[in-house]
Amino acid sequence: MKENSIQICVNCVMDTSDPEIVFDEQGVCDYCKDYKVVHAQRVFEGYEGARLLQEEIAKIKGDGKNKKYDCIMGISGGVDSTYVAYLAKQHGLRPLAVHLDNGWNSELAAKNLANIIRRLGFDLHTHVIDWEEFKDLQLAYLKASVIDIEAITDHAVFSALYKLAAEHKVKHLLVGLNVVTEAILPRAWITAKMDGANIADIHKQFGTKPLKTFPLMDIWLKQYYLNVLKIKKVRILNYVPYIKEDAQATIIKKLKWRDYGGKHYESVFTRFYQGYILPEKFKVDKRIAHLSTLICSGQITREQALEELKTPPYDAEQLKIDKEFVLKKFELSEGEFDEIMNLPIRKHEDFKTEGTIYKHYPIFKPLKPIIDLIKGNKRTIPDSKTNKI
């Protein structure tokens, strides 16, 4: 293989834009092999899936007896969380739907969310993050020049979910995390979403405003939620035949849902981040991972994926509109943004992480196996973009 050339898996479309990818002699990547293993371990189909799903539903209803809500359900307005909400209604669950408003919802996302809640009849709690704090935190990540800028939104989402579960004495979180549409995601493209130490240190070095209200979860609070209160995530999409196109057709028909045109594009910033910042600055096209997962789960062909990848990740006119909007919202000039885009790339590990406590505080070393489990240190299958906690 020539230097600087790209090698693509012969089975999926993962390629050497991931520096850690490994190919066998036939040209099949390790993600394809890992997918088969994880699918066998975590996806339950047919009678077994139906049985396990009913067990989970019965457990949720039993633990939630005589409570206002029997579970807490995260909802973004995207396909996965919307289909989870639809299934929750079908199975007679009583969730409190929780939506995080970080200031970047598209107009379509707001309309979709309103339709979902109205038609399903669930109570909705919207956790609104202080915009000035969140803007300062996002700018800190941009200036730190690390790849996973979305980690702070994912962190806030799960912090809010666990907090509300604790307040309502609920033990189950319904989430849209699943194997068949989200399994493949290179470690080099993300970081541990719930690493509060990493967030705090990046903000300390590059932020300008104190984080007084941002829902930062440290390691001790996580231990309390997981091991004392025993709150657990329930991934019900792993127990049902989850075909993305079929799920979309269902929520369009039943909930009047409308498509955003891309995975997680319900957020204007996510659309700009995945469609422009990642490919321009970090040379990463996240569609490669998303499409490869769909290939491995048999939902699309490799030829269909390659055809889609021939198209640009961003519509040129939409990019122009979004870039102007993002820069105005961040109060950045074109020149200031270009300077940020040209900064040398740094790793999240260049800043403090939860692992740092073992180096500086040996007394905490016995906690490392537990924290590694919480963080989910796996190359693939990080239980979607939110990672494992």
Three-state secondary structure along 255-304?
A: HCCCCCCCCCCCEHHHHHHHHHHHHHHHCCCCHHHHHHHHHHCCCCCHHH
Give, for all 389 residues of the chain, the pLDDT tens digit. Answer: 444 588 999 999 999 999 999 999 999 999 999 999 999 999 998 999 999 999 999 999 999 999 999 999 999 999 999 999 999 999 999 999 999 999 998 888 889 999 999 999 999 999 999 999 999 999 999 999 999 999 999 999 999 999 999 999 999 999 999 999 999 999 999 999 999 999 999 999 999 999 999 999 988 899 899 999 999 999 999 999 999 999 999 999 999 999 876 555 678 999 999 999 999 999 999 999 999 999 999 999 999 999 999 999 999 999 999 999 999 999 999 999 999 999 999 999 999 998 876 555 555 555 555 555 544 444 444 443 333 32
Q: Are 215 and 160 in contact (CB under 8 A)?
A: yes
Predicted confidence at residue 381, as pLDDT, reads: 41
Predicted confidence at residue 362, as pLDDT, reads: 55
Predicted confidence at residue 387, as pLDDT, reads: 33
Instruction: Tell me the C-alpha to C-alpha distance, in Å, between residue 374 and each of 113, 277, 355, 387.
Output: 30, 29, 12, 9
Strands, sheet with 172-174, edge to edge from the N-terminal-most edge strand: 123-128, 95-101, 71-74, 172-174, 232-234
- Amino acid symbol at 109: A
- Look up residue 21 and give its two tokens: 């990818």
44-346: CATH number:
3.40.50
Phi, psi of 173 (to 5 degrees): -110, 120
Predicted confidence at residue 109, as pLDDT, reads: 87
- Look up residue 170 and give its two tokens: 């609920």
Predicted confidence at residue 380, as pLDDT, reads: 43
Q: Are 39 and 49 in contact (CB under 8 A)?
A: no
Name the 3-class secondary structure at 16. coil
Q: Are 50 and 239 in contact (CB under 8 A)?
A: yes
How do 232-234 and 172-174 pair as beta strands? Answer: parallel
Predicted confidence at residue 264, as pLDDT, reads: 54
Predicted confidence at residue 358, as pLDDT, reads: 54
- Give the integer Cα–Cα distance in Å for 245 and 242: 9
Neighbouring-strand partners of residue 105: 267
- Look up residue 9 and give its two tokens: 């898996």
Name the 3-class secondary structure at 214. coil
CB neighbours of 372 closer than 8 A, spacing ≥ 6? none
Predicted confidence at residue 56, as pLDDT, reads: 97
Domain ranges of the chain: 44-346
